[in-house]
Amino acid sequence: MTTTPQMIFVNLPVRDLEASKKFFAALGYSFNPQFTDENAACMVISDAIFVMLLVEPFFQTFTTKPLSDARKQAEVITCLSAESRVAVDKLVDKALAAGATEPMPARDYGFMYQRGFQDLDGHLWEIAHMDGEPG
């Protein structure tokens, strides 16, 4: 019996869709044109992970709750794995060069190395490499 892997679609509100697409393209991500238009862009992280960048008015049509301003309040931290410590640094350095900020210094827990960035809209991203198990 073959099972289809479960996928995840993270939906994020953005103020400027074109600026967000340019930012994430600079990090090496591509977009699925089938699900990309003037209101949304489907960023491909992997075969099972996608981020829907939705302009704020369009995002608002999916919820009755007010949108939070991620530049002022933490809403969620999206953590992605990386194959090595070098890969962690490379991706975060690309994000910084593309206009992100680094809200916290790198953290090395021995079994896990992690760095993060805040994107153009203030969304928090962590990139982590795990090598072993917690002590």
Q: Where are the domains of the chain?
A: 1-61, 69-135
| Beta carbons of 8 and 50 less than 8 angstroms apart | yes
Q: What number does CATH give the domain 1-61? A: 3.10.180.10
Q: What is the pLDDT of residues 37-61, one digit of tens each?
A: 999 999 999 999 999 999 999 999 9
| Beta carbons of 10 and 30 less than 8 angstroms apart | no
- What's the average model confidence in pLDDT over 68-97? 96
Confidence of residue 5 (pLDDT cuts 50, 70, 90): confident
- One fold for 1-61 and 69-135: yes
Q: What is the pLDDT at residue 3?
A: 80
Q: What is the pLDDT at residue 135?
A: 61
Tokens at 42, concatenated: 């489907």
Q: How far apart are CA 11 and CA 108, in angstroms?
A: 29
State which CATH number among 3.10.180.10, 3.40.50.880, 3.40.640.10, 2.40.50.100 fits the domain covering 69-135: 3.10.180.10
Sign of the CA dihedral 92, 70, 52, 14? Answer: negative
Confidence of residue 101 (pLDDT cuts 50, 70, 90): very high
